[in-house]
Structure 1
Amino acid sequence: MLNSKNIVVGVSGGIAAYKACDIVSRLKKLNANVKVIMTKSAAEFVTPLTFQSLSQNFVVVDMFDELKTWDVEHISLAQWADLFLIAPATANIIGKISNGIADDMLSTTVMATKAQVLIAPAMNTNMYENKIVQNNISKLSQLGFKFVEPESGRLACGDIGKGKLASPEAIVEQVSSILTLEQDLTDKNILITAGPTIENIDPVRYITNRSSGKMGYSIARKAIERGANVTLISGKTSLDIPNGVSEFIQVESAKQMYEAVVDNLDKNDIIIKSAAVADYKPKNISDIKIKKSDDDLIIELDRNKDILKEIGKIKKDKILVGFAAETNDLIQNAKKKIEKKNLDFIVANDLTQEGAGFGVDTNIVKIIDKNGNIQEYPKMKKYELSNVILDRVKMLSK
């Protein structure tokens, strides 16, 4: 998969340095050429010999080590790399790169490379959430550096929170995506909706659905990786905003989502509506909490605007993609939506199938176009399905 791809792995000084061994091993199994640069602090956690054995290449730690080749080492490594991965990346190395400091082999080589740099942070939760660190990450994201978000969980220090190095599998997946995906959507402006909407009943209660937003956020990430300018309009989720998104708009209700879509319609060529929008809203919203009584509570509902249908009326030459999550009559219901809402194609899934639908990392779908052609796909990760959807969009946009 990564035949002949050259990857420099930078390992900085944190307890998660041991996980970089697994990352290097996985990259080698994908037939990548790997060279490792370690900071002196990293060498306190894992020996250079370990990485040398796994990568089958000399490991560089000190700028003033005896040269293994006649090249100026930091320049030759910088030029050699197709991709530069830093894992784990401490707050220290992120701060150095963000501020242009080059005082060791790792930071110096990053400054000299023109390859894509992918950074996988790992640190204490309070450090990761520190405004200085977040500003440094934001600055680097704007400069084109890519990040693999850390995970939440129990940290080495005993704290519980966000800051764990992403899994080696997730990091290698992102490396593979960057190195194998073409930048084929660089001239496209894509609007993506994601997540659930909520409709208030009173200040305490509301109506919503089970959407996690994972599908829409995955499409947004893959579109960004492929060079698109992405506007992401999202209901409330627990997901991190994808790095590199051009504009992120947080909404709650279906009305707010409709208004945000309409406001951003003109500047986008492609609209992918993966959000699960509430069809109905309470006719009357109480300003105070509705108290429990001995009587049944009856809530009268009004129809919300059908965002897809409304956009379908005015889309002109824009590409419009919809989603259909059904529990019965999947094909018939999906085809009705295509015709009724003037869609170019629809992504339909049966919620009764295990591994499909809300809250999981996989999906099982049928893609149906406006001519009635149906393509079935087996269960796959949502990030894989995202590329399938974007490939379809690309074909239509030629």
Structure 2
Amino acid sequence: MPPLCNTLVLGITGSVAAAEAPALIRHLRRELARDVFVILSRTARKFVVPRVVALHSGHPVLSDIFDEAETMKVPHVELARRADLLLVAPATAHVLAKCAHGLCDDLLTTTIVACRAPVVFAPNMNDAMWASPVVKRNVAMLRELGHHIIEPTWGFEVADGSPSFGAMPPFDNLVKTLGDLLSRVRRAEKAG
């Protein structure tokens, strides 16, 4: 079966769930996208090794630290133009706030603002942060801007292993939600 999208841009931010990026990339490439280009935030690099991510994506990793093979003249413009879908997973409270307020101070947020394809955030944080009025306001603002939020689910606190609501959904659920979104976008394009 052909992939639902040719190019998926994956933004990985500095959450402990970033450590699962190689498995997520494999899942996305197998189930959804022909090509996955990855932007690592500065803090994501503390949880995942760029070379490992590049091996799984098949492309050099992009970030604000240009120590990888740079093949794009203006990465945020080129990636935004190529993208059929831009996914931020995991999405921290920090990146949700920056994007809700249009702050473009790194490659990921600049690419998001330049992107005309659907932008999807898959938050990952502890339950106190997810329940925070500030995070709720920023999520509402992102939805008003036309972005999509994949609601978190139950997981476990890194600090003490206790159950907590705020984890990214399992990869199968994530991919199914993205596939449904891409199908709706295609139907709307055909109808319009």
Query: CA–CA distance in 1 between the matches of 2:121 and 2:14?
Result: 14
Q: 1:136 to 1:106 in 2, by over 3 A?
A: same
Name the SS of the counterpart of 2:102 in structure 1: coil
Seq. identity, %: 32
3-state SS in 2 of match to 1:5: strand
Specify the alignment match of 1:73 in structure 2. 75
Relative to structure 1, the CA distance from residue 36 to residue 2 in structure 2 (aligned partners, 3 Å threshold; closer, same or farther) is same
Do the aligned partners of 1:5 and 1:32 also contact (CA within 8 Å) in 2?
yes
Secondary structure of the 2:62 match is coil
**Higher Cα Rg, which structure:** 1
Question: Does the 8 Å CA contact 2:61/2:68 hold for their aligned counterparts?
Answer: no
Per the TM alignment, residue 24 of structure 1 is displaced from its structure 2 partner at its CA by 0.9
2:165 is aligned with 1:162: yes
Q: Secondary structure at the match of 2:39?
A: strand
Query: Which of 156, 170, 183 is the aligned partner of 1:180?
Result: 183
Corresponding residue for 1:202? Answer: none
Contact in 1 for aligned 2:119/2:147 (Cα 8 Å): yes
Please state how far the C-alpha of 1:71 moved relative to its aligned partner.
Answer: 2.3
Task: List gaps (5 residues or longer) in structure 1.
Answer: 187-398
Equivalent-residue separation in structure 1 for 2:19 and 2:72 (angstroms): 30
TM-score by length of 2: 0.89
Name segments (4+ residues, structure 1) moved above 6 Å: none
What is the distance in 1 between the residues matched to 2:42 and 2:5? 29
Whether the aligned pair in 2 keeps the contact of 1:23 and 1:171 (CA below 8 Å) is no
Is contact 2:72-2:78 (8 Å) kept? no
In the aligned structure 2, how far is the partner of 1:18 from the partner of 1:65? 20
Match status 1:106 vs 2:102: no
Q: Which residue does the alignment assign to 1:196?
A: none
Does the 8 Å contact 1:5/1:82 carry over to 2? yes
Does residue 28 of the first structure (1) align with residue 29 of the second (2)?
yes
Cα offset, 1:125, TM superposition: 0.9
What's the CA shift for 1:144? 1.1
**CA deviation vs aligned residue, 1:278-302 (integer Å, no higher than 9, x gap):** xxxxxxxxxxxxxxxxxxxxxxxxx
State the match for 1:17 in structure 2. 18
Secondary structure at 1:84 match in 2 = strand
Q: CA deviation at 1:145?
A: 0.7
Mapping of 1:230-249 within 5 angstroms?
Answer: none
Consecutive unaligned residues in structure 2, runs of 5 or more: none
Measure, in 2, the Cα distance between the counterparts of 1:165 and 1:72. 31
Instruction: Write the distance in 2 (CA, Å) between the matches of 1:169 and 1:133.
Output: 25
- Deviations 1:146-199 (CA, angstroms, capped at 9, x unpaired): 11111123221224321111111111111212223346479xxxxxxxxxxxxx
CA distance in 1 between partners of 2:166 and 2:183 (Å): 28
Q: Distance in 2 between the 1:57 and 1:185 partners? A: 31
Q: Residue 63 of structure 2 aligns to a residue in which SS?
A: coil
User: Distance between the aligned counterparts of 1:109 and 1:63, measured in 2?
Assistant: 15
**Greater helix content:** 2
Q: CA deviation at 1:76?
A: 0.4
Higher RCO, 1 vs 2 (CA within 8 Å, ≥6 residues apart): 2
TM-score of the superposed pair, with normalisation by structure 1: 0.44
Q: Distance in 2 between matches of 1:7 and 1:84?
A: 6
Alignment match, 1:326:
none
